[in-house]
Structure 1
């Protein structure tokens, strides 16, 4: 198991803070989506059709949120194990600009291009 480089180590707490904050935002959003999907439906046929369309959008948002949450959980795990900041495919250092843009990324930009 390779340790993250010194520069990334210095930024661990910055990334942990960003990830934990986003994790909480997603959990709140997913809870709100779940509550909305469970509310009683309108008995009017036209309104029910609109609600079904809205439910599909909410379900897609929920799925995307769950995927991002799983990626954040994995990034926090990498932080805890000292592998954060290293590409899980090639082992190279992930550029700080990439981590700033997508802090839960597990792969470097070169490996992302090859996918």
Structure 2
């Protein structure tokens, strides 16, 4: 398996979250129909879009924190127990803050 580059993985994730947030903001900025029934549906859709935007923004914050951990040398260490985070977990979730055991305890 190829070497894992956390910086590249975090950059790709940040780009993905940023593009997603930008598209959602664009959708939220559109005008609504003059028809009341259609406008009600559009406003419900806006609620879903706002939730998706909050999720994308939270992801961007997680990536930012992971980048700080890269700088201070704590990237890849569980923020709860201090043990190394599993390589497979970091590959799947580059901004992971906890090892699998601690993440399971949190849930």
Structure 1 runs, 4 residues or longer, greater than 6 Å off: none
2:23 to 20, 32, 50: 32
Map 1:1-115 → 2, pairs under 5 A: 11=4, 14-115=5-106
Higher RCO (CA 8 Å, separation ≥ 6 residues) = 1
Alpha-carbon distance in structure 2 between the residues aligned to 1:48 and 1:27 = 28
Alpha-carbon distance in structure 1 between the residues aligned to 2:101 and 2:25 = 37
Q: Give the length in aligned residue pairs.
A: 104
Query: What is the RMSD of the two structures over their aligned residues, measured on CA atoms?
Result: 1.3
Unaligned stretches of 5+ residues in structure 2: none
Q: TM-score, normalised by structure 2?
A: 0.89
